[in-house]
Structure 1
Amino acid sequence: MGDFVDETYKRVEEIINYKRLNIRSFEEIIQVSNNSIGTAIRRKSSFKSNVLNKILNSFPEINPTWLLTGKGEMSLAISGEPPLVYDISDIDSRIKDNLLHLLQEDEEVQEVIAVKVSEVLKK
């Protein structure tokens, strides 16, 4: 078995390029100090686990196995695994629709609302 060579710096650079970011904006997104990522890439250094965790937390679509080992695909979505980020842009609309449906269709809910409305009107 050969010696392990840590080349996570190459994969981090690949993420930066894939996301079309510069090193500074990448550092801001993952919340690390200025020039820490750029310096590590230039020196071909390994990253501490806290930096790798920040990358994975900031970019949940990145495959952790790929980042750590280079095996598999960069993106979880490409590898067939479900995405870790969900579109909730229409969540308010869906909640309102479900509430309206519940109010219109559920007799028990209608009865409770009728009682509460009559209580309010009696005050």
Structure 2
Amino acid sequence: MSDFVDETYKRVEEVINYKRLNIRSFEEIIDVSNNSIGTAIRRKSSFKSNVLNKILHSFPEINPTWLLTGKGEMFLNNIDKTNEPASKYNLLDIKSKVKDNLIHLLLEDKEVKEAIATQVLEALKK
């Protein structure tokens, strides 16, 4: 059996604090229902993939490997670690780096690879 513990809620809370946002404004930015993030953080619950995708879409400077596993830095390499809006960054470069980090993550962590594969299969059924 695995020792994997999902502590994504801690990293989401860290992003909220770093961005100097309150939970409600963070929920509005990533377009999720009122109090869903706050409830998950209080309950120390994991987030569904759609919420994590919304976070990465809204904050493309966030390192997906770090968000999912806690490994690496909070921000993608070579990106200014400021609180400026993501729109100021070169989104094509960021998308490329996100893709590279996700591929690396898939190849590195068997449990994450299995979880993503399951979610992809479920999405294809819809």
TM-score normalised to the size of structure 1? 0.63
1: distance between equivalents of 2:38 and 2:80?
A: 31
How far does the alpha carbon of each residue in 1:27-69 deviate from its partner, in whole angstroms, 9 at most, with x for none?
0000000000000000000000000000000000000000000
The equivalent residue for 2:16 is 16
For structure 2, list consecutive stretches of 5 or more residues without a partner in the other structure: 92-126
Aligned to 1:32: 32
Q: List gaps (5 residues or longer) in structure 1.
A: 88-123
Q: Tell me what 1:4 maps to.
A: 4
What is the alpha-carbon distance in structure 1 between the residues aligned to residue 8 and residue 24 of structure 2?
18
Q: Which residue of 2 aligns with 1:48?
A: 48
Partner of 1:102: none
SS of the equivalent of 1:12 reads helix
Find runs of 4+ consecutive structure 1 residues off by over 4 angstroms: 81-84
CA displacement at 1:80 relative to structure 2: 3.7
Identity %: 84
Contact 2:6 2:46 in 1 (8 A): yes
When normalised by structure 2's length, the TM-score is: 0.62
RMSD across aligned C-alpha pairs, in angstroms?
Answer: 2.3
CA contact (8 A) 2:61 2:79 kept: no
Alignment partner of 1:65 is 2:69: no
Largest Rg, 1 or 2: 1
